[in-house]
Amino acid sequence: MRILLVNPPNCGRSIPEERYGIDSLKMILRGEPLALEALAGNLDTHDVRIVDLKAEPDAFQDMVTEFRPHIVGITGVTCEANTMVTLASMAKEGVKAHVVVGGVHASNDPHFFNKPDIDYIVVGLGKQSFRELADAIESGGPTDTIPGIARTNPLGKLSFIPRRYSTEDLAEEKPPRYDLVHHYRDEYILKSLNLNIGLVSTAFGCPYRCSFCSVRNITDGRYMTHDPETILRDIRLLGDIPIIRLVDANTFGNITHSRALCRKIQESGIQKGFVADVRSDTVVHHPDLFVEWKKAGLRTVIVGFEETDDKQLERMGKANTGAINSEAIGILHDIGITIIGDFIVSPDYDERQFQGLRDYMEKNPVDLPMLSVLTPLPGTPLYESMKERITNHDLDFYTLTNAVVPTRMDEKVFYENYADLMKSGHARASL
């Protein structure tokens, strides 16, 4: 069968820009669609194409008309959910294909997609379940008994069999189809260094219970690692791309696996710069691991510090402290690894709390601070605790840079403080 996999365009909206002319907060994401490349790798008996609308925004209709797919698969995060529905309608109108949606929002809030122009919803990690669905559609077999696949029922209740995830769902023997986005490759760059960047998965899932995070539901809390040899294979498939972003919620979630991967990279002679996500407590408890990884090419880590106040961290379910965050910053600087630090600004902030975050960032400088607004994403514990406060239900604004509940401060003043904090942090940014 002909299967078209679709990465939606950048489509989030910005309250500070639209209401107050503050245009410095809109985040434009343009990395390769690794989830679709991975799906395509496991569809090796089908004719598969990927259209990346972040790189080529107007290509969808022409691709549908030319390729005439039997299945259209659309992925997306929460702020892209409305656009995913629009694309589904366009696909139905164009060729009456089977329309399948998946990704982060589908995994956390599948009921949102129980709509007439969508046929199936992939709930959770979909590499194996999507393959099973495609094969069933081709053979005319049953589709309503595939775990992790929900057949839509717009006039009634959505039901499906939850998938029990195992390493079989990683389908490691089937590498990502990086070749399907070769013509977009020049779009996937690390802007600060003007270097091409490639994405490689080392693990899926997360065992932690941070209240704001939507990753846990993708594998129902399981953390599954790829074999180091699989990871080396995928790094080699990216050829001479100099920077490899190791893509998962916590690259060093399994210390034994991390050490084994590090040593395999060193033994292989691979010369790359690596970017990875880590927890600050992992840095503090295992500094020797990061010394070793520095030798293997680790140049930058992304650390979710989130907050500076221990009580706030506890409310977030972060299972961490401000003291550990500060210690980790010092350790990483001593090793020579640069830090992208994620911080979360609450809509409940007042002037004192904004100043507290400024003071913390001055005392504990990271190389590139990234600030988001605390957002109750549907399907997360945070959403359940805040849903009665939500006044903006338009998912286009769920970009993590908008307050969707009323701000404690005057709204314009809140966004001015937020923009000023971002601007001052980026003024001395270096990677």
pLDDT at 192: 64
Of the candidates 60, 57, 77, the one whose C-alpha atom is nearest the C-alpha of residue 69 is 60
- What integer is the mean pLDDT of 354-373? 94
Please report the beta strands in 104-185, taking only residues with DSSP state E, as ranges in sequence order: 120-122, 149-151
pLDDT at 27: 58
- What integer is the mean pLDDT of 394-399? 97
346 burial via Cβ count (<10 Å: 0-12, 13-18, 19+): middle
Cα–Cα distance measured from residue 329 to residue 322, given in angstroms and rounded to the nearest whole number: 11
pLDDT at 203: 94
pLDDT at 282: 96
Q: Where residue 197 falls among pLDDT bands split at 50, 70, 90?
A: very high
pLDDT at 96: 87
Kindly report, residue by residue over 79-102, the tens digit of the pLDDT.
999 999 999 999 999 898 999 999
Output the DSSP codes for 339-389.
Answer: EEEEEEE-TT--HHHHHHHHHHHHHS--SEEEEEE----TTSHHHHHHGGG
pLDDT at 31: 83
pLDDT at 428: 73
Reduced to 3 states (helix: H, G, I; strand: E, B; else coil), residue 166 is: coil
Reduced to 3 states (helix: H, G, I; strand: E, B; else coil), residue 200 is: strand
- What integer is the mean pLDDT of 263-280? 96
Kindly report, residue by residue over 367-385, the tens digit of the pLDDT.
999 999 999 999 999 999 9
341 has pLDDT over 90: yes
pLDDT at 276: 96
167 half-sphere exposure, CB direction, 13 A CA radius: 8
- What integer is the mean pLDDT of 315-330? 94
Domains of the chain: 2-167 (3.40.50.280), 188-427 (3.20.20.70)
213 has pLDDT over 90: yes
pTM: 0.95
pLDDT at 338: 96
Q: Where residue 126 falls among pLDDT bands split at 50, 70, 90?
A: very high
Which span out of 213-222, 275-284, 310-319 was modeled with the highest average pLDDT?
A: 275-284
Task: Please state, as a whole number, how many other Cβ atoms lie within 10 Å of the Cβ of residue 243.
Answer: 21
> By the 8 A CB rule, do 418 and 345 touch?
yes
Q: Which residues contact 59 (CB under 8 A, 6 or more apart)?
A: 51, 53
